[in-house]
Structure 1
Amino acid sequence: MTKAKLLQPDLILGNTILGLTPNILKRYHIEGLILDVDETLVPLKKSHVSDDLMAWIDTIRHNTPIWLVSNNVSENRISRIANSLQLPYLLGAIKPSRRKLRKAIAAMNLPVSHVAMVGDRLFTDVLAGNRLGMFTILVEPMVDPMTTPSYPIHNFEVWVSQKLGVSFSAAKHLLHRDHSDSKF
């Protein structure tokens, strides 16, 4: 597999995770989700989940098993977030390592190709999911609305990925022209 293929998300949402609808999951035959935590679900300096995220989780969990898999090693932070969402979790994943992703997939008892890795980072979330053969979804980072967003790491990852041949425009266009999906 080429470097570009390893970093190419199967779907670029062009929105935060809140834009990932049941219709999108159905369209891509996604039966299970593994979600990154920091900046995918919760801004980095926050440790509580928003009401919007709670509603999104409640909508998705009816038909789709969800696991949280984070590189963060703070048991206090990740367990607080996971417990408030009532979701199983693994921390200290060291993504792009696949070890903890395999553990979550095994717990779901689903084929790897029917589980999506959802995250905001190319070099951790997308790379780990692609290395395992998962469907990968890149989302916009969840940031604190009270701060001015700055994405130096994200911007660097996109720049390097583009130099390696990863395409970002085609996948974004795919979802932006389909307005049939509702938020929840």
Structure 2
Amino acid sequence: MTTIALLQPNLVLGGTIFDLTPEILQDQNIEGLILDVDETLVPFKQKETSQELQQWIAQIRQTTPIWLVSNNISHTRIGNIARSVDLPFISAAKKPSRRKLKEAAEAMNLPVEKVAMVGDRLFTDVLAGNRLGMFTVLVEPMIDPVVAVRSHPIRDFEIWISQLLGVSLLAEEKNVTKGNNS
């Protein structure tokens, strides 16, 4: 697999995790979700989930099993977030290593091809999911509303490098925007 293919998400939402709908999952034949935590579900320093996230998870879990897989080494913090939404989790995953993603997919009793890896980072979430043969979804990072302007230098660098390599990161080019296939 080429570097471009490894970094190319199958779906670029162009919005946050809340733009990932049951209809999109159904259209893409996704039967399970593995979600990154920091910046994908909650801002990095946040220790609690929002009401909006709890509602989104409640809606998705009606049809789709969900696991949280985070590179964050704080088992306590990730565990507290996972417990607040009643989801199984793995911390210190070392993505782009595939091992913990495979473990989560096996726990859901699903083939990796039917599981989507959803995250805000290309060089960890998308790369790990693509290396394993999962459907990959790139979302915009969650931003703490208290912080007026939030810089994402590592993510911005990943996007810059990926675009230099020829990776397409525009939602319109992926034929999916806000749940509608074009």
TM over 0.5, yes or no? yes
Residue 163 of structure 1 and its aligned partner are, at CA, apart by 1.1
Residue 152 of structure 1 and its aligned partner are, at CA, apart by 1.0
Tell me the distance in 1 between the aligned counterparts of 2:5 and 2:125: 14
- Which residue does the alignment assign to 1:132? 132
One-letter code of the match for 2:118? V
Q: Which runs of 5+ in 2 are unaligned?
A: none
Give runs of aligned pairs for residues 135-150 of structure 1, distance below 5 A. Answer: 135-147=135-147, 148-150=149-151
Tell me the distance in 2 between the aligned counterparts of 1:172 and 1:86: 35
- Which residue does the alignment assign to 1:40? 40
Deviations 1:5-44 (A, max 9, x none): 0000000010100110000000000000000000000000
Kept in 2: contact 1:14–1:172 (CA 8 A): no
Q: 1:47 to 1:177 in 2, by over 3 A?
A: closer
- Which residue does the alignment assign to 1:161? 162
RMSD over aligned CA atoms reads 1.5
Residue 155 of structure 1 and its aligned partner are, at CA, apart by 0.9
Tell me the distance in 1 between the aligned counterparts of 2:178 and 2:37: 28
Tell me the percent identity: 62
TM-score (norm 2): 0.95
One-letter code of the match for 2:175? L
Tell me the distance in 2 between the aligned counterparts of 1:30 and 1:105: 12
One-letter code of the match for 1:78? I
Tell me the distance in 2 between the aligned counterparts of 1:20 and 1:170: 12
Residue 171 of structure 1 and its aligned partner are, at CA, apart by 4.9
Deviations 1:129-183 (A, max 9, x none): 0000000000000110111121111110000001111011265562337658xxx
Q: Secondary structure at the match of 2:93?
A: coil
Kept in 2: contact 1:11–1:137 (CA 8 A): yes
Deviations 1:101-124 (A, max 9, x none): 111000011111110000000000
TM-score (norm 1): 0.94
Moved over 6 A (4+): none
- Which residue does the alignment assign to 2:75? 75
Tell me the distance in 2 between the aligned counterparts of 1:88 and 1:144: 24
Q: 1:170 to 1:79 in 2, by over 3 A?
A: closer
Give runs of aligned pairs for residues 112-131 of structure 1, distance below 5 A. Answer: 112-131=112-131
Is residue 94 from structure 1 mapped to residue 94 from structure 2 by the alignment?
yes
Q: Which runs of 5+ in 1 are unaligned?
A: none
- Which residue does the alignment assign to 2:61? 61
Kept in 2: contact 1:17–1:140 (CA 8 A): yes
